[in-house]
Structure 1
């Protein structure tokens, strides 16, 4: 087994609520561990030498598929086999995906435990109080109810009936069973549901290091030549290699590349995320079909039933992605026209992309094997709706432009209008949960992926001239008034369209000797900000006054300050309070910014927030100067 790394961290930045998980994987991939302590999962409740108070409540966070539940299972197995933590009397797992099923009912804590774990039926209230218990609350991000630490009624008796939310909040706060240990796992976006005052320790699961990525592929394939070719190919694409920090993505990648290198050696290997996921869907389809010996499969050939099931799954993925749900129940499937009694829902082409789990009442819970699979199928469904002019779906998604004008279907009649409007819609929403979705939409416009996915997408033109119009339109999308950090995703959309020109221009720009004479466009500034952000080394100084660009360009450069020790911001409005680029730089983990100069900088209503961020545990700022 290869275990993902676990680190004790400070309170995470609130900005993580607004960063797509792919961006967090990118940030983690270049972290130098400076002020953090690695820890084994078995030691998660043990105090460090410099700590006084005991550790009672721990929250472990990490992106989807990074290995949180796996660490919990390892801890539990070691305890059950008598290897570790034998002072604990019982480990009690309560997953939020199961708690959702009884969220509207009332129980006492004792009743709730017996309900989920019938083997505890002989445990009395008196015995419960004296035992040393560990409660594992797994998957906070999957909860469909909120924990209220402000207005929740006091519950201190294990036989007192209350709502699930009140029971859990009182358990976490220590009003119920104050001697019990609590371990909560969550994706980053849900972390702030837990009041910081309730937590004794926060830990982060980082995913695979570069060395562990290579170890994974070498262990997966005994054929050394095959594993070396896979590793070599992944290193040619930074985005693919970074994504392999997520163990589930390593599995997706291994599945695709093993198939292609052993059965279709002449095929061009995937270079973008959309390429990889299109081939993954193709591989799953091939598992169901029979071929003549030696026949190569270069597109998905689906039965009518399988096509309908995949599009219905796409609809489920799309509708719940907008709601930020990653877990589905029978009623959710039925609303999308999926008949849960039919084997086709969880067999055939769906075996590796959609999971069915039986929980209490033998009531099934469904989910995609990874969030990115949900995002990919959602994009397929949306593209299908565009090509088939499903006006109701399009009208619900494309509501109005940034000026508040209602968008008509005539405004999205061409492919370039459809894709640019999708990106603009993403930039308008208050968080970034559609970031990969719009990348996939752009990648699906490529002829190679349309050929692979066959009849799923519908008929659309994808000539080089049309794709060039798509690229040209993306390059001129305005980011004025929108979060500049998220405008970098336009660059990723260009990369999914196989357009490397802007990225190459900025790499050449950094090598040039006449930087002050070169005028930069808005999209070039976003590309430059991305390159500077992702530099392996922490850079010395960012001075916006040295760049010849528009106000929009300076705006787009601000996100780069996260990777600088000094920053001189000039003639720019610093966006977004706790979610803006300045907030991210001040509260990043680790934060590098020690010196900040603000010249003709407008903070607007966020001036007070700046001083709040200066008190964040991660902030290392030593010098702050402001000149108007």
Structure 2
């Protein structure tokens, strides 16, 4: 969305498009939120006060009130305005000079009572923007992401080294799941960033990439972006607090409950069930989205950005309960004859295998693969340490038993399940053979 705004503004400034507009003003909701929090109690300002605050070089604001003046106000990052807006009871303001609290100004700008001649372009995540009453919206547009051709074009232009670009393009496509996820431009950027570093190692690229490390990097990057974007932390100040750990753990719990119910959809009640707020899950986490059209008419429905992210988060929750709290949340429904202690890594995987083998739909296949991947020291000890795990947390013990368990499961599995179990073993060993 930021790129869309920048491209629009540049084309207008260079007279390539929208030449009928005399002014283009950007009033970011993020900036408005900081303005709201600048003083305590919040200072009252008029619409022109706000514009003058950010655009002090605009002297003659009366031009914006002339009948023939055509101007656009771009209000991006709607999800960054953290206070609720009262669409029903906010007092009406009919001019640009009346001072009011920022939230009152925002509602009146969107109602069309203030800055009446302006065209408004509002940007934000679907879950946030959907809070605006439909009568205030003329047109709604959703960014759909990259086509396959655009992915290749992006990766080609991203690197001056043509050979590296070709290696990365062919490498990530070897995992169909990564090829699907890369339709999101942000994921495509992660593909470029991660694999450009990986190809610095001699011999890298012979085998397909592993999924678990990729999704751990995705989780870390999204959470760090959340801290910078919504909490204004600097790059050299980024530090995960208990707030981030609790959020991700509880989101993982919700993902696991969804997996158990065999659904990819959740409602606000499910968010409250794990003691979270809707906005922090579907807007600020960067992991979920609002679904449209809704599954139940008139009821807001949500889901993880992709089903495999839900599967990964479910596995992350089960792993964290085992690793940090010595709990096996899978043991209650295991139908296998127990060969291993339920509190051991082998016992955990044994219970996960029971779910996988007893599910005819295969809905636990990727869950098991991610769980095995998280057991690998390369993932939990090297990647998660310092984020979701303390630096002094030891490595998971007993992985040799897990390896034997998976090898025996592969030997006894039907041909339809054999390849999936082999992938689970590869994820745990983080090997390619």
Offset of 1:132 from its aligned partner? 2.5
Offset of 1:142 from its aligned partner? 2.1
Q: 1:469 to 1:92 in 2, by over 3 A?
A: farther
Tell me the residue number matched to 2:374: 444
Offset of 1:177 from its aligned partner? 2.3
State whether residues 445 and 462 of structure 1, in contact with CA within 8 Å, keep that contact through their aligned partners in structure 2: no
Match of 1:212 among 133, 138, 150: 150
Do residues 463 (structure 1) and 414 (structure 2) align?
Answer: no
Offset of 1:420 from its aligned partner? 8.8
Q: How does 1:483-494 map to 2 (within 5 A)?
A: none
Match of 1:93 among 16, 19, 26: 26
Do residues 127 (structure 1) and 127 (structure 2) align?
Answer: no
The DSSP-based 3-state class of the residue aligned with 1:103 is helix
Larger mean CA deviation between 270-279 and 243-252 belongs to 270-279
Report the TM-score, using the length of structure 1 for normalisation: 0.42
Tell me the residue number matched to 2:99: 161
Q: 1:160 to 1:466 in 2, by over 3 A?
A: farther
Tell me the residue number matched to 1:483: none
State whether residues 446 and 497 of structure 1, in contact with CA within 8 Å, keep that contact through their aligned partners in structure 2: no
The DSSP-based 3-state class of the residue aligned with 1:71 is helix
Q: How does 1:256-275 map to 2 (within 5 A)?
A: 256-266=194-204, 271-275=209-213
Do residues 313 (structure 1) and 240 (structure 2) align?
Answer: yes
Q: In angstroms, what is the RMSD of aligned CA positions?
A: 4.9
Q: 1:453 to 1:157 in 2, by over 3 A?
A: same
The DSSP-based 3-state class of the residue aligned with 1:134 is strand
Q: 1:438 to 1:81 in 2, by over 3 A?
A: farther
Tell me the residue number matched to 1:37: none
The DSSP-based 3-state class of the residue aligned with 1:135 is strand
The DSSP-based 3-state class of the residue aligned with 2:172 is helix
Report the TM-score, using the length of structure 2 for normalisation: 0.58
Tell me the residue number matched to 1:193: 131
Tell me the residue number matched to 1:152: 90
Tell me the residue number matched to 1:102: 35
State whether residues 109 and 115 of structure 2, in contact with CA within 8 Å, keep that contact through their aligned partners in structure 1: yes
Offset of 1:241 from its aligned partner? 0.8
The DSSP-based 3-state class of the residue aligned with 2:183 is coil
Offset of 1:160 from its aligned partner? 1.2
Q: 1:153 to 1:447 in 2, by over 3 A?
A: same
State whether residues 137 and 182 of structure 1, in contact with CA within 8 Å, keep that contact through their aligned partners in structure 2: yes
Aligned residues: 314
Q: 1:418 to 1:495 in 2, by over 3 A?
A: closer
Deviations 1:470-499 (A, max 9, x none): 9xxxxxxxxxxxxxxxxxxxxxx9999569
Q: How does 1:537-576 map to 2 (within 5 A)?
A: none
State whether residues 155 and 175 of structure 1, in contact with CA within 8 Å, keep that contact through their aligned partners in structure 2: yes
State whether residues 153 and 166 of structure 1, in contact with CA within 8 Å, keep that contact through their aligned partners in structure 2: yes
Match of 1:183 among 113, 121, 143: 121
State whether residues 442 and 496 of structure 1, in contact with CA within 8 Å, keep that contact through their aligned partners in structure 2: no
The DSSP-based 3-state class of the residue aligned with 2:179 is helix
State whether residues 270 and 276 of structure 1, in contact with CA within 8 Å, keep that contact through their aligned partners in structure 2: no
State whether residues 370 and 424 of structure 2, in contact with CA within 8 Å, keep that contact through their aligned partners in structure 1: no
State whether residues 173 and 198 of structure 1, in contact with CA within 8 Å, keep that contact through their aligned partners in structure 2: yes
Q: How does 1:395-414 map to 2 (within 5 A)?
A: none
The DSSP-based 3-state class of the residue aligned with 1:101 is helix
Do residues 141 (structure 1) and 70 (structure 2) align?
Answer: no
State whether residues 235 and 241 of structure 1, in contact with CA within 8 Å, keep that contact through their aligned partners in structure 2: yes
The DSSP-based 3-state class of the residue aligned with 2:123 is strand
State whether residues 94 and 138 of structure 1, in contact with CA within 8 Å, keep that contact through their aligned partners in structure 2: yes
State whether residues 64 and 117 of structure 2, in contact with CA within 8 Å, keep that contact through their aligned partners in structure 1: no
Deviations 1:235-280 (A, max 9, x none): 2212111121122222221222222223232576563443225578
Tell me the residue number matched to 2:17: 84
State whether residues 145 and 184 of structure 2, in contact with CA within 8 Å, keep that contact through their aligned partners in structure 1: yes
State whether residues 446 and 467 of structure 1, in contact with CA within 8 Å, keep that contact through their aligned partners in structure 2: no
Tell me the residue number matched to 1:555: none
The DSSP-based 3-state class of the residue aligned with 2:120 is strand
State whether residues 349 and 402 of structure 2, in contact with CA within 8 Å, keep that contact through their aligned partners in structure 1: no
State whether residues 403 and 425 of structure 2, in contact with CA within 8 Å, keep that contact through their aligned partners in structure 1: no
Q: Which runs of 5+ in 1 are unaligned?
A: 1-67, 284-307, 327-370, 402-411, 425-435, 471-492, 501-628
Larger mean CA deviation between 69-78 and 170-179 belongs to 170-179
Offset of 1:196 from its aligned partner? 1.4
The DSSP-based 3-state class of the residue aligned with 1:115 is helix
State whether residues 109 and 158 of structure 1, in contact with CA within 8 Å, keep that contact through their aligned partners in structure 2: yes
Offset of 1:72 from its aligned partner? 0.5
The DSSP-based 3-state class of the residue aligned with 1:181 is strand
Q: Which runs of 5+ in 2 are unaligned?
A: 222-235, 249-275, 282-304, 333-341, 356-365, 407-419, 428-433
Larger mean CA deviation between 155-164 and 265-274 belongs to 265-274
The DSSP-based 3-state class of the residue aligned with 1:239 is helix
Offset of 1:442 from its aligned partner? 6.5
State whether residues 175 and 209 of structure 2, in contact with CA within 8 Å, keep that contact through their aligned partners in structure 1: yes
Offset of 1:111 from its aligned partner? 1.2
| Mapped partners of 1:153, 1:498: distance in 2 | 62
The DSSP-based 3-state class of the residue aligned with 1:202 is coil
Decide which structure has greater strand share: 1
Q: 1:139 to 1:413 in 2, by over 3 A?
A: farther
The DSSP-based 3-state class of the residue aligned with 2:18 is coil
Tell me the residue number matched to 2:383: 453
State whether residues 172 and 191 of structure 2, in contact with CA within 8 Å, keep that contact through their aligned partners in structure 1: no
| Mapped partners of 1:419, 1:150: distance in 2 | 55
| Mapped partners of 1:438, 1:109: distance in 2 | 55
State whether residues 279 and 452 of structure 1, in contact with CA within 8 Å, keep that contact through their aligned partners in structure 2: no
State whether residues 419 and 441 of structure 1, in contact with CA within 8 Å, keep that contact through their aligned partners in structure 2: no
State whether residues 110 and 158 of structure 1, in contact with CA within 8 Å, keep that contact through their aligned partners in structure 2: yes
The DSSP-based 3-state class of the residue aligned with 1:186 is coil
Deviations 1:264-298 (A, max 9, x none): 32576563443225578999xxxxxxxxxxxxxxx
Q: 1:132 to 1:160 in 2, by over 3 A?
A: same
State whether residues 96 and 142 of structure 1, in contact with CA within 8 Å, keep that contact through their aligned partners in structure 2: yes
Q: 1:414 to 1:136 in 2, by over 3 A?
A: farther
The DSSP-based 3-state class of the residue aligned with 1:193 is coil
Q: 1:150 to 1:281 in 2, by over 3 A?
A: closer
